[in-house]
Structure 1
Amino acid sequence: MVERVIATDEALALIRQLQAEHGQIMFHQSGGCCDNSAANCYLPTDLTIGPYDIQLGEVGGVPFYIGKLQYEYWKHTQLILDVIEGQGGTFSLEGSTGKAFHTRSRLFTDEEWASIEAQVLSDLA
């Protein structure tokens, strides 16, 4: 199965650091408001996931969500959660670490996309 979201080793290390400090966490890919188009890390009690959000998968055992409208724009890509040096998003838990989560993407190959579509149809059956 093709993963829709993955994380670099640096992102996984920062996830473990945040889990050690905060316990349970989650990600939501921002649609571009105050924190631009960034993957923001939250405590599960800090953000309500609703009917307009899709869980793309998990990174480091942490759920990763995206809004449906944002998903429609990025559905043909694999999201790659990475880390850069600098100030994190003002809403995101890593903001004080001197690092920031950063989303990169790559287009799925035709074969990967066919596999994803087949899995979606299977899930609907």
Structure 2
Amino acid sequence: MTTKEIDLDFGKVIIHKNILIAKLNEGILFDVESNRKLLDLGKEIFKGEDYGYISHRVNSYAVDPMVYFESANVRNLKAIAVVSYNEFTRKNAEMVERNFYKDPENAFGVFVTLEEAVAWMLTKF
């Protein structure tokens, strides 16, 4: 699969191999409705094949942790990663967000660089 960019009303999504990478807009609230749009996009693009999701947090925004309950129920979504250059954002993802992602078959990782997250993600399929 080739790399492709998709613009959404709340950010930009890059499709790279079997990974959906999201760079969301500054100041938004990433809520259940926005998450459903990403999950629908994953369903449309990957058509039941295994894939992973990377939240590339180059901007500051809020995440409703409830998004992880729905994401954990998507069988072909095999891993979620958060990438942030901000230590507070990484700690929040590790200490709070991870606790809401309750599917033991899937994986949740937190990384400093996108390259680390992609390398980790590719080991999950």
Q: What TM bracket, shorter-length normalisation?
A: under 0.3
**TM-score (norm: length of structure 1):** 0.23
**TM-score (norm: length of structure 2):** 0.23
Instruction: Please say which structure displays the higher CA radius of gyration.
Output: 1
